[in-house]
Structure 1
């Protein structure tokens, strides 16, 4: 079932996504070798609460942290903890990363589906568009915590996503970062 969001719901979503961007900006200055993912989580939790909000991940279906922070081989839903960042680590969700033109073309190539098939996009429909990229094999596995997804062989990977909503004048990209 596809649900079209009301303007009130979209307003709440914009506010939440703005808070997410502000939190990422707050964390960006602390992403350096030696800093632990757990410290990033504590900082994010403090910042979100200092703004009068509550971290939505914390406690959701047992998720133990305020942020998902996936490093290197962790594709999605990484638990913050004692892991220290090293120079060259890929940290998903707290910084942008660049892709080569060839990979970008492959990922963004339009018309992968069958034209005129599937539901029509209408104003208020929310889309979560996520790119999951890894080196080598496409095989992944979920750890015993039933949350963290890692690459088989622990090869580096990256995850990036945007929340978009169909608007009357195009797409409203809630997660677009300002320059």
Structure 2
């Protein structure tokens, strides 16, 4: 079921995404070798609450933290904890969205989509576009926590996430910070 959001709901989502994007920038200032993902989670929790917001991940279906902190082989939903970051590590803080089927299909099989298939975009729809591309084995698995998705034998990876709303004027990218 696709739910179209009202203007008021989109306004709340826009504010929440702004806090989320600002949290990313705040955390970037603290990422350095030897900091733990648990320390980053604590900093994020304090920052989010200082903005008058509540971390949406914490407690969601039993998730124990305010952010997901995925390092290196962890694609998404990594539990923050005692893992220390090393120079050259790749860390991604994620929101609670999943990659769209259409984008996955494009990456895996470019130009092979079926025209006129799937739902039409309508005003009020919000899309979570989460790209996860890795070079190496295509095989992935989950850790015992049943949340953390990891890659097997990865040479390199890239990840990006955007929240986009369909509006009467086109698209509104919630996760884009103004200069």
User: What TM-score, normalized to structure 1?
Assistant: 0.86
Q: Which moved more, 1:2-11 or 1:147-156?
A: 147-156
DSSP 3-state at the match of 2:84? coil
| Offset of residue 44 of structure 1 | 0.5
Q: 1:86 to 1:29 in 2, by over 3 A?
A: same
The aligned length equals 167
Q: After the TM superposition, which residues 6-155 of structure 1 pair with which residues of structure 2 at under 5 Å, given as runs? A: 6-93=6-93, 107=107, 112-153=112-153
Asked if 2 retains the 8 angstrom alpha-carbon contact of 1:126 and 1:164, the reply is: yes
Q: CA deviation at 1:111?
A: 5.2
Cα RMSD between the aligned structures? Answer: 2.0
Moved over 4 A (4+): 109-112
Query: Structure 1: which 5+ runs fail to align?
Result: 95-105
Give the drift of 1:155.
5.1
SS at 1:26 equivalent: helix
Deviation at 1:137, TM superposition (A): 1.2
Alpha-carbon deviation of 1:170? 1.2
Q: Which runs of 5+ in 2 are unaligned?
A: 95-105
SS at match of 2:68: coil
What are the Cα deviations for residues 50-94 of structure 1, in whole angstroms up to 9, with x where unaligned? 222211101111111100110100000011111111111111138
Task: Name the SS for the 2:160 alignment partner.
Answer: strand
Return the structure number with greater strand share: 2
2:143–2:150 contact (8 Å) kept in structure 1? yes
Q: What is the distance in 2 between the residues matched to 1:125 and 1:85? A: 37
